[in-house]
Amino acid sequence: MNSKDQNVLVCTFGKEVHEGLTSFPKYLSSKFFYDEVGDKLFQQIMDLPEYYLTNAEYDIFQLHKTNIIQSFDFNKNGFDLVELGAGDGKKTKVILNELLDQKYPVIYHPIDISENAINGLVKNLALELPDLNVKGQIGEYFEVLDRLQHISDRKKVIMVLGSNIGNLLHPRAIQFLKKLNGVMHPDDLVFIGFDQKKHPQKVLDAYNDQSGVTAAFNKNVLTRINKELGGNFNLDAFIHWEVYDPESGTAKSYLVSTKKQTVDIDCLSLQVHFEAWESVHTEISQKYDDDTVKWLAEESGFEITGSFTDDNKYYKNYVFKKSE
């Protein structure tokens, strides 16, 4: 990333923190959880017994990798595999390995808002899969979509894994999918993971683990404000709080102030006042069923051409193509 891109990300962070903490009710975007510390905490979350999502998607890839690749309908002329919000690529490696084994001429383009995640993934792939052509990019989903159409004229499969789409409420998810649709060529495809509705306790536990890693992950946004924007948040004066509404399928994470307090954020020349028990909404993790995914796809100009699930039916990956 050049220093201009770095400045854009820092400015965006400051601007959005200002906007969120001066709104009522207060909010901060979950995309700001991820830096070197946040990426490590998310890796720990993926290993938690409560966080079933990673294993479910991993199992889907192990079980169905041959059919998944067939569903991409690649010819052997070469294609681009683009991944939005790639993280550490833990599950993607199953697909990448299979593509290399089958000698598909693929270029892998992992894209992530976290510079640390992309640098780590590119380095790791150079060691683990030295024959793979990798072109990592740092950027935010909505912004990188504009760049996507200029990557090449080859067929593209755009992957959105880890139920990353679930961090967007339905109207924003449709906006994102419509924008994605707008930059795709007719034979490009989307391969996208949607966590499914299930026992409400199972969902709640996934974001409220006993060991407190999710709480530390949620609070990392405050640590980032302290470090990068000169804030003085006392992390002990906030608690992590999770709720799940089985009707809407929306899990929501909050940070709740345990007392009346004022926080200074020097770089923003901002004082933020909190009442006792006032909340800051930080993340949504939407859960889906087939009808909702079909509705989202149709609203965004897609049709579903395939889907893959795990033995427990906790999670599903769908293949979308542009509607004719």
Ligand X SMILES: C[S@@+](CC[C@H](N)C(=O)[O-])C[C@H]1O[C@@H](n2cnc3c(N)ncnc32)[C@H](O)[C@@H]1O
Selected range binding ligand X among 83-91, 98-106, 222-230, 263-271, rule: CB under 6 A:
83-91
Encode burial over 95-110: b for 16+ CB neighbours within 10 A, e otherwise: bbebbeeeebebbbbb
Q: What does the radius of gyration of the chain's CA atoms come to, in whole angstroms?
A: 20
Whole-number Å distance between alpha carbons of 216 and 93: 27
CA 231 to chain CA centroid, nearest Å: 26
User: Of 87, 110, 120, 249, which one interacts with ligand X (CB under 6 A)?
Assistant: 87
Query: Residue 98: what residue type?
Result: E
Chain centroid to CA 258: 29
Among 28, 56, 68, 117, binds ligand X (CB under 6 A): 117
Q: Least distance in Å: CB of 137 to ligand X? A: 10
What is the rounded CA–CA span in Å between residue 110 and residue 98? 17
141: contact with ligand X by CB under 6 A? yes
Q: Output 169 or 276, the one with its CB closest to ligand X.
A: 169
Please state the closest distance from residue 167 (CB atom) to ligand X, in A.
Answer: 6
Which of the stretches 107-115, 150-158, 183-191, 215-223 binds ligand X when contact is defined by CB under 6 A? 107-115
- With CB under 6 A as the contact rule, the residue among 59, 80, 112, 115 that binds ligand X is 112
Residues in the chain: 324
218 is a site residue for ligand X (CB under 6 A):
no
Judged by CB, which is closer to ligand X: 136, or 249? 136
Interface with ligand X, residue 85, by CB under 6 A = yes
Q: How far is the CB of 70 from ligand X (least distance, A)?
A: 22
Give the residues lining the site for ligand X (CB under 6 A). Answer: 31, 34, 42, 85-87, 90-91, 112-114, 117, 140-141, 161-162, 164
